[in-house]
Structure 1
Amino acid sequence: MRRRLAALLCCLLCLTGCATLAPPYETPAPASSSHWPAGAAYPTLADNAGPLAMHLPLGQVFPDQRLQQLLSLAIANNRDLRQAVIAIEQSRAQFQIEGAALLPQVDAEAQGYRERRPADLSGTGQSRITSEYRAGLGVSAYELDLFGRIRSLRDQALQTYLATEEARRAVHIGLVAEVASAWLTLAADQEHLRLARETLTSQEASYRLIQSRYDAGISSALDLHQAQTSVDNARIDIARYSRLVAQDQNALTLLVGSAIPANLLPEGLQDIRIAISEPAIGLPSQVLLQRPDILQAEHQLRAAYANIGAARAAFFPSIHLLGSFGSASAELTDLFQAGSLAWSFTPQISVPIFDAQRNRLRLRVAETERDLLLARYDKAIQTAFREVADALAAFGTLDTQLQAQRSLVDATANSYNLSQARYQQGIDSYLNVLDSQRALYRAQQELISTELGRQLNRTSLYRALGGGWYTSEPS
């Protein structure tokens, strides 16, 4: 009898290793073009169908030591990243819980029972005291996973855990890009503030000169008032950029999650470079499918497939095993004596007959969720393709724009110097000087903004490519 029971248990346990009822998963075809866009706005890219591209180390992308230290502080203290790490631990624990359900839960049990029954209930006409003591091992409600329901739930928890890990990577990459962008923006606004202060100093000197000329009757009141407008505009810009610098520092402090040492703050854009050169990034299918947000969407899609398997298994019978093995005796002193062996085995089977279509509706919900996540997966790939394409378009044009802007600054500076000389010689009015000065100031401001855009583009490309600058390996 015992051998037959053990053989039956072994067979049932072997059946629990069968495949699940989840539909077979196939990676969807990327919902984007197979090649990056080409044209006048884009750099020349060599498609490489060889091994997947590799990331550059973070220190090579952002070589500035101050920025590297700031990034380390942000990674250690940022609250969003901390929440993502905690979410990973939660998902890991949930996966372990679902996996543990595949194995029986064995508990050590000990219990005592003592009862007095009155004479009219004892069956013997006399009152009676009965006792029972038990000790042993017990299995409570172990489900035989014949149709893969528990395995499907475990697979769903596993994919959810993996999706959470990719979400952490996405938060990490986004944090690095945001800190670098905020740091660069602070540097640019400090550069704007420095330019505004230099302009104010120059305009105040010009105003004093015109004031003296006006007092001597050489310059007109119009010239004096026009000079005053230049001074006031410079003061306005100083106030504006002082405010922006303070707000940039506040935003950077929030991202870093702690106070920022003064020696880690930038002084301007002149000495900052993001070390990214001409990209060689391979085919879209090589790059996009390695982005953490795309991998997260795929793991969520896999979890939905596993959930369909669990919903399908609910249509089939479920078998639960309850049992115990140990000793029992009417006297506590005889509990572990010879002949006190006691065991029980209680299999239970449940077959769904009428559930008001609950199982069918749960399956429909699971299938709809799969379709929804598939659409999100396609949208995530399309969005990623657009982000990379936009960053490449900026990469291919900003260098040319920066060169032209530098040339424009030189030309307007020469024009300003000539207009000043002509005014001092009495050839032109001060209005021409004022127009030239404003043109030079705007060109200098635009040069700072263009340089910032160029640096931010490198940071955006780092983020769009999934956290690294891709270089194709030789096949």
Structure 2
Amino acid sequence: MPFERPTSRTALHAVPHTLAASLLALALSGCAVGPDFNKAEPQAPEDWTAWRSADDSLRSVPATAEALPSDWWRAFGDPVLNRLQQRAFEGSPDLLTAALRFAQARTQRRMVEAQWAPEIDLNGGINRQRLSENGSGVRLLDVLLPSGPFRDQVVSLLAQPFTLYQAGFDLSWEIDLWGRIRRSVEASDADVARDAALLDLARLSLASDVARNYFELRTTQKQIRLLREDISVLSDRLQLLDAQVRGGAINHLSLEQQRAELAAAKAQLPPLLAQESASANQIALLLGERPGALHDELQPLKGEARAALPDLALGLPSELARRRPDIRAAEARLHNATASIGVAQADLYPSIRLGARFGFESFSSSEFADWGSRTWSIGPTLNLPLFDQGRRRSVVQLRELQQQEAAVAFQRTVLLAWHEIDDALSGYAAEQHQARELQSRVEATQQAYQLAQARYDGGAIDFLPVLDSQRSYLQARHDLVASQGRLNTRFVTVNKALGNAPIGSPSQGAEN
């Protein structure tokens, strides 16, 4: 059988190539252990009038397929508010923090994805060494050479200091047999999606907080302006009554009652001034500015015209999951928890890492580059888990429990979203109704006040009805201003509940 030996040698040489090709094919086409993530589909009503707990009078929502714009604050037509929002997107510390976390998630994803590629390290060194005359390196001499002068000379020669020159590279690559790397990349993708949603949530929260504090500031400034007008009117009337008392036309009772009304009005001014300062400071904090930095920009408006709020265009209820950043973040957490199960399960199986090394090593610098100074090694490394007291299986069980917790959290987030939407829509509709009634009340109390004043001037009644009607008219004006401010903030709340996050705003740190 003269041809058996060459055939056998050919087969032996083909084994490493066949093994490498098989391992490569297995790495590229092998299945990933662990459950696959199925995109969650949150339940949604057919229209916005369903899933509501409010009275029927508060359920009138226009049915339209269009959603409110992402820059919903422009509906107020206030250039100051528009500038504040832009400055907030550019300088808010909270938004910058969220953007940096998003950038970290993207960087972490690139780090995990890098496990797909082989790792190559270049190394080199020059070391001055000396071997021990009594170390393990001379033990062989005790076996081969008897004790004597020749042995001592050899040991002395070997122990002389020498310089070792080394250079080369190491290559290692983990074969992803069970999808550990694939599941890790999947989990990192979910982290990126989560932090992207949280960045949108930070933008939405920032825009909502700026608008809410701005409307609180403007409402307080209107209250201050009305109160100062009231104080001026009450002061003038007090002077008139004082003159009438001195002239004997009326008694002191009406004068003291008017004086008490004036003192009560003046007592309301300091808390309003403090509230104005607090709202301005809160806006400055949201913009990353020092206290008082927005003093000139936030001065009370003169001759402002109130812009009518647009009708609510809510879009389709089924689009809620795509708009609400917290729902998208909860879904991404569930995705991450599902992929992490596969990562933990892959650790239960053997892992194979291919390694190779090539370099040069010589104790003589002149011979370092010679081909005879080369050194190399190549081969796989197998890691087979045998016993760890159930640690790896406990990790799998832990990841499964974390997935169940993430699923419950996702369901709760969706449920909470619909509750917030119901409350926001009901509150907005209720405030609209109240504002209309308060407007009617202002008109009625104004007419009653003017009629009582005319009858008092004609001597038909005493001053007490005038004082009561005056008090009702002033209170009605303040209540209407407060309701209009609440209506603006209710509109902000609706947009926040619907998840109308601003888009295209600066995201510092997110472009890394």
Is TM more than 0.5 here? yes
What does residue 46 of structure 1 align with?
A: 63
1:24 deviates by 1.7
Structure 1 counterpart of 2:425, from 374, 382, 392 = 392
CA distance in 1, matches of 2:209, 2:381: 57
What does residue 179 of structure 1 align with?
A: 210
Shift in alpha-carbon separation, 1:165–1:370, aligned structure 2, 3 A: same
CA distance in 2, matches of 1:13, 1:183: 62
Shift in alpha-carbon separation, 1:2–1:72, aligned structure 2, 3 A: farther
What does residue 79 of structure 1 align with?
A: 93
Shift in alpha-carbon separation, 1:151–1:387, aligned structure 2, 3 A: same
Worse overlay, 111-120 or 171-180 = 111-120
1:67 aligns to 2:87 (yes or no): no
What does residue 244 of structure 1 align with?
A: 275
Worse overlay, 111-120 or 429-438 = 111-120
CA distance in 2, matches of 1:3, 1:344: 18
Worse overlay, 229-238 or 327-336 = 327-336
Equivalent residue letter for 1:109: N
Shift in alpha-carbon separation, 1:3–1:63, aligned structure 2, 3 A: farther
Shift in alpha-carbon separation, 1:276–1:355, aligned structure 2, 3 A: farther
- What per-residue deviation string (whole Å, max 9, x for no partner) do you get for residues 64-101 of structure 1? 22111111111122111111111112212211111112
**1:117-196 matched pairs, under 5 angstroms:** 118=133, 121=139, 123=141, 124=145, 125=151, 126-127=154-155, 128-129=157-158, 133-140=165-172, 142-196=173-227
1:437 aligns to 2:470 (yes or no): yes
Equivalent residue letter for 1:35: D
What does residue 363 of structure 1 align with?
A: 396
- Report the number of matched residues: 465
Structure 2 counterpart of 1:327, from 331, 351, 360 = 360
1:219 deviates by 1.7
Q: Secondary structure in 1 aligned to 2:63?
A: coil
CA distance in 1, matches of 2:45, 2:277: 43
RMSD (Å), alpha carbons? 2.6
- What per-residue deviation string (whole Å, max 9, x for no partner) do you get for residues 307-356 of structure 1? 11111112111223332023344533222223443211243222222222
- What per-residue deviation string (whole Å, max 9, x for no partner) do you get for residues 48-70 of structure 1? 5xxx8573545744532211111
1:396 deviates by 3.2
1:444 deviates by 0.5
Structure 2 counterpart of 1:106, from 120, 124, 135 = 120
Shift in alpha-carbon separation, 1:288–1:180, aligned structure 2, 3 A: same
Q: Secondary structure in 2 aligned to 1:97?
A: helix
Shift in alpha-carbon separation, 1:62–1:85, aligned structure 2, 3 A: farther
What does residue 472 of structure 1 align with?
A: none
1:270 deviates by 7.0
- What per-residue deviation string (whole Å, max 9, x for no partner) do you get for residues 334-387 of structure 1? 222234432112432222222222112111111111111111111111222222
- What per-residue deviation string (whole Å, max 9, x for no partner) do you get for residues 236-277 of structure 1? 111221111111111111111115444532625973656752
Shift in alpha-carbon separation, 1:203–1:165, aligned structure 2, 3 A: same
1:198 deviates by 0.4
Worse overlay, 306-315 or 252-261 = 252-261
- Which has more radius of gyration? 2
Unaligned runs of 5+ in 2: 1-11, 51-55, 146-150, 503-512
- What per-residue deviation string (whole Å, max 9, x for no partner) do you get for residues 160-182 of structure 1? 12211110110011101110111
1:9 aligns to 2:20 (yes or no): yes
Kept in 1: contact 2:201–2:501 (CA 8 A): no
Q: Secondary structure in 2 aligned to 1:109?
A: strand
**Misfit runs of 4+, over 6 Å:** none
Q: Secondary structure in 2 aligned to 1:187?
A: helix
- What per-residue deviation string (whole Å, max 9, x for no partner) do you get for residues 94-126 of structure 1? 111111122221011224564445386461522
Kept in 1: contact 2:64–2:315 (CA 8 A): yes
TM (normalized to structure 2)?
0.84
Kept in 2: contact 1:223–1:430 (CA 8 A): yes
What does residue 419 of structure 1 align with?
A: 452
Q: Secondary structure in 2 aligned to 1:264?
A: coil
Worse overlay, 24-33 or 401-410 = 24-33
Shift in alpha-carbon separation, 1:7–1:274, aligned structure 2, 3 A: farther
CA distance in 2, matches of 1:176, 1:428: 54
Unaligned runs of 5+ in 1: 470-475
What does residue 233 of structure 2 align with?
A: 202
